[in-house]
Chains A and B, each alone.
Chain A
Amino acid sequence: MSDNNSHKDSFEYVNPDLVDNILSQYPDKRSATLPLLHLAQTQEGYISNAVVDTVAQITETHPAEVMDCASFYTMFYLRVQGRYILQVCQTLSCSLNGADALVDHITDRYGIGPGETTPDGKFTLMKVECLGSCGTAPVVQINNDYHEGLSKEILDELLESLQ
């Protein structure tokens, strides 16, 4: 059925006020689905079935519809990811400026291909499409932070600093 491999049975937001705040902003509850999923992912690291159920309950929709929504977006992870998610932009501008070399570099360095996580659960490598920072290509997004105008050396330094 779903690609979800979570085993957690229940999920609760640690900060219910934030949930209420989000709900209060929208004219209807369902519109809050995306922010709620974002919030849950910040908390859990990924979207588990339990998250889906909880969000469905809050937004008064069917869990399937929440899953329908969550699975559509690339930023919602339906399975556990590494602590640092290395998202290398591979679209044209970045590709022209050496993004592919960065991917190869990371693969060589950690032995993980795109979509894979290091055994220690620290890094997940992802090839993503345009990150909207083509002027400073190549770009790697690590979790929420953009790192622009990278070369192998700068990337190495950056990765070291994450140790």
Chain B
Amino acid sequence: MSIFITQLFNGLSLGSIMLLIALGLAITFGLMNVINMAHGELIMVGAYTTYVVQQIVSSYLPQQMLAYYFILAIPLAFLISAVLGIIIEKTVIRFLYDRPLDSLLATWGVSLILQQAARSIFGAPNVAVKTPDWLDGGFSILGATLPYKRLFILALAVFSIVGLSYFLYKTAIGRKMKAVMLNREMASCLGVSTKKVDSYAFALGSGFAGLAGCALTVIGPIGPSIGTNYIIDAFMIVILGGIGKLTGTVIGALGIGILSTTIEYTTSATIAKVIVFALIIAFLQWKPSGLVSMRTRSLD
């Protein structure tokens, strides 16, 4: 029983991490059609932001504040990544909206630059972020321990998805974003400021990447190449879910999370990785546009 709960929780927890890293992509890739290979590096920026905040707090503020630096780091990670996102949008992406596959190539260049920049600024080795004490330990239930850190990430994921859904489906700016991505010229003919919408949307997607980066510091490494660990998974989740549909992304992330942990438990991490990716390929053969499809009758 306890192993069942532990594994279910592990699955959900991995799923929530996957969801966090994929959410930003669901916007920049799912909605904006930008294949942002630098998404992983935006995650990295969020993680380093958390690190820097911790450094600053621990050297300039009283010791008892250190416990709460994380509260400060979350919004800052979002913000800094968002700002960097805007810069990338203004300098690179903007020219590529009608060439989605080219955006992949250009942002690949961006990711190389950001990685090397991180290496030059923070040094090549990993840096350590000490998570606040209040996240240490866990919650015991039926013999299983659910670490607070993982519960925290789960909560953060839920919070993010609720906020983002409201934003996308219930607000005018969400609607405008979708319109701009579908038909830029027509949207602008209706009075939508495409440039603003582009920047907002990309900033939002990048911000969520930063948020994911902040969350990842709790459980994983923080170094210049952290982004490369997550980028492929993130893309897989978005296409598995169905481009442009948040519900799909959520189901996809949790599905992959639970599937991975279950298979890994009975086989090995390597086999699990192979099987999960093979299943994704097979699934897409069966449902070529993902779990939640958005096809219309138009010819192409």
Real complex partners, A and B? no
Chain A: residues with CB nearer than 8 A to chain B?
Answer: none
Chain B: residues with CB nearer than 8 A to chain A?
Answer: none
